[in-house]
């Protein structure tokens, strides 16, 4: 079977790391026709738009995309092309595995965690009122009227909507993922003791959904501040975490830090019908075109993509090849060497070549 996949190279180091991922995926032997789609600065230069409709149409048609990082220009109309893609295609689940690989420097060993972050609402909904604007004053006076609580008149306001619908949907996604990938426990993370009507609703929804999986996957709940401490002290006690958007954003970086940082942190944004696979890191503009950065996060995102299109054997082979190259520590980029100026570090392309040569 030939899969058709959208390929979005992105900005900065994006084209280099997506090229490494594309070559590694192809080397597994899985037949793929790539549908090249340009978003970000190149698209803006050619078409005047950072995110042309053709990019969204391509993902909708092909149902899967692999995407390099895209810069967020400061002072442009919308906040981020990346957030815009997730919203436009309703990619409501952000999946971020955090796994230890021997050879990658870290304070911890044998970590194997999965973060499932809600992607569509919470403080990321982008509903904000600027300090001093007439509508902000109106909102402040309405809030004072309904709650009898004082807000300083020179405040800015960000709204945190959390719905029953989106909470149930993300927790169901987390449990279904746990069943498919043999995860034993789902931990719902919240601050429901303080935000009773937003996080409280998330937690109530999580408890309801969890009942349907009783006897199949264990369920526990944890307040987010305690969760941070426990993750640092005993990360091996956890398996899969499901969180509202903002906590998911912060804790997925914390977990990336537990396993060696951005160079090895893959991710995916998944909806009911389609998914976009991308590394957690950004476009690192200072390294653009230098053939220097680590392609591993992007190639591991490719491993997630192969699993999504049900090419599990190819995914396992590619992950094993990455594991071997990391463990050998020879053909790896500067960030994976004992010191950053190690002369034996190889480039992005050469590390991808080494991974390809370890494919069995
Ligand atoms: P960044 O992740 O691009 O870079 C931060 C630092 O991390 C780099 O200077 C580099 O030292 C290191 N780094 C990142 N990726 C690496 C890799 N593959 N190998 C080795 N080292 C790596 O973060 P930033 O500088 O905050 O953001 C730059 C741009 O990227 C911004 O415009 C931002 O909006 C955008 N961004 C995009 C995405 C996305 O497309 N999903 C995500 C985050 C940031």
Same domain, 133 and 175: no
Q: What percent of the chain has pLDDT over 70?
A: 98
> What pLDDT is stored for residue 77 in this prediction?
57
Catalytic residue among 249, 308, 334, 353: 249
101 carries an active-site annotation: no
The dihedrals phi and psi of 26, each to the nearest 5 degrees, come to -60, -35
Same domain, 213 and 246: yes
Q: 150-202, pLDDT tens digit by residue?
A: 999 999 999 999 999 999 999 999 999 999 999 999 999 999 999 999 999 99
Comparing CA positions, the residue from 298, 206, 270, 230 lying closest to residue 10 is 298
Q: In whole angstroms, what is the distance from residue 70 CA to residue 82 CA?
A: 7
Inform me whether the pLDDT recorded for 75 exceeds 80. no
**The tokens of 315 are what?**
């995914």
- Cβ neighbours of 30 (radius 10 Å): 20
> In the chain, helix, strand, coil percent, each to 5?
45, 15, 40
> What pLDDT is stored for residue 125 in this prediction?
86
> What pLDDT is stored for residue 126 in this prediction?
83
Q: 219-241, pLDDT tens digit by residue?
A: 999 999 999 999 999 999 999 99
Residue nearest atom 27 in ligand 1 by C-alpha distance? 282
Average pLDDT, the chain: 96
Which residues are CB-neighbours of 99 under 8 A, at least 6 positions away?
A: 111, 112, 113, 259
Same domain, 203 and 231: yes
Q: 245-284, pLDDT tens digit by residue?
A: 999 999 999 999 999 988 999 999 999 999 999 999 999 9
Choosing from 258, 274, 299, the residue where a domain stops is 258
Q: 2-27, pLDDT tens digit by residue?
A: 999 999 999 999 999 999 999 999 99
CATH number at residue 77: 3.40.718.10
Same domain, 249 and 301: no
Same domain, 212 and 326: no
Catalytic residue among 46, 61, 196, 225: 225
Inform me whether the pLDDT recorded for 69 exceeds 60. yes
Residue 99 inside a domain? The answer is no
Total domains in the fold of the chain: 3
Inform me whether the pLDDT recorded for 74 exceeds 80. no
Same domain, 52 and 166: no
Give the DSSP per-residue string, 16-49. HHHHHHHHHHHHTT--EEEEE---SHHHHHHHS-
* Widest Cα–Cα separation across the chain: 68
100 lines ligand 1 (CB under 6 A): no
342 carries an active-site annotation: no
> What pLDDT is stored for residue 76 in this prediction?
58
Residue 274 inside a domain? The answer is yes
112 carries an active-site annotation: no
> What pLDDT is stored for residue 80 in this prediction?
84
* Pocket test residue of 12, 39, 78, 283 for ligand 1, highest count of atoms within 8 A of CB: 283
- Residue 211 β-bridge partners: none
Same domain, 111 and 215: yes
Residue 343 inside a domain? The answer is yes
CATH number at residue 180: 3.40.50
Same domain, 116 and 201: yes
Residue 101 inside a domain? The answer is no
Choosing from 232, 258, 284, the residue where a domain stops is 258
| Structural domain of 165 | 107-121+161-258
Q: 272, 238 in Cβ contact below 8 A? A: no
């Amino acid at each position: 079977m030939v899969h058709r996949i959208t390929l979005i190279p992105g900005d900065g180091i994006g084209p280099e790391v997506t090229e490494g991922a594309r070559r590694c995926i192809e080397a597994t032997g899985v037949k793929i026709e790539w549908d090249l789609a340009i978003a970000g600065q190149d698209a803006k230069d050619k078409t005047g738009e950072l995110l042309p409709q053709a990019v969204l149409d391509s993902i909708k048609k092909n149902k899967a995309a692999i995407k390099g990082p895209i810069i967020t220009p400061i002072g442009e109309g919308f906040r981020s092309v990346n957030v815009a893609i997730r919203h436009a295609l309703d990619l409501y689940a952000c999946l971020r595995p955090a796994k230890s690989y021997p050879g990658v420097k870290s304070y911890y060993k044998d970590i194997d965690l999965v973060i499932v972050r809600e992607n569509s609402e919470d403080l990321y909904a982008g509903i904000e009122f600027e300090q001093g604007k007439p509508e902000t004053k109106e909102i402040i006076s309405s809030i004072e009227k309904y709650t009898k609580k004082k807000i300083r008149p020179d405040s800015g306001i960000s709204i945190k909507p959390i719905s029953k619908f989106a909470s149930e949907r993300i927790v169901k996604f987390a449990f279904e993922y746990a069943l498919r990938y043999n995860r034993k426990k789902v931990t719902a993370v919240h601050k429901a003791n303080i935000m009773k009507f937003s996080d409280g609703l998330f937690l109530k929804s999580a408890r309801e959904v969890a009942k349907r999986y009783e006897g199949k996957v264990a369920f526990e709940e944890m307040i987010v501040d305690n969760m941070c401490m426990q993750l640092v002290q005993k990360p091996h006690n956890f398996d899969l975490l499901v969180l509202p958007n903002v906590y998911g954003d912060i804790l997925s970086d914390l977990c990336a830090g537990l396993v060696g940082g951005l160079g090895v942190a893959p991710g995916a944004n998944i909806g009911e019908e389609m998914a976009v696979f991308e590394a957690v890191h950004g476009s690192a503009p200072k390294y653009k075109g230098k053939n220097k950065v680590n392609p591993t996060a992007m190639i591991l995102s490719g491993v997630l993509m192969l699993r999504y299109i049900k090419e599990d054997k190819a995914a396992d082979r590619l992950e094993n090849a990455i594991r071997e190259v990391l463990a050998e520590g020879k053909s790896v980029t500067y960030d994976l060497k004992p010191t950053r100026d190690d002369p034996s570090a190889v480039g992005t392309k050469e590390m991808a070549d080494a991974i390809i040569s370890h494919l069995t």
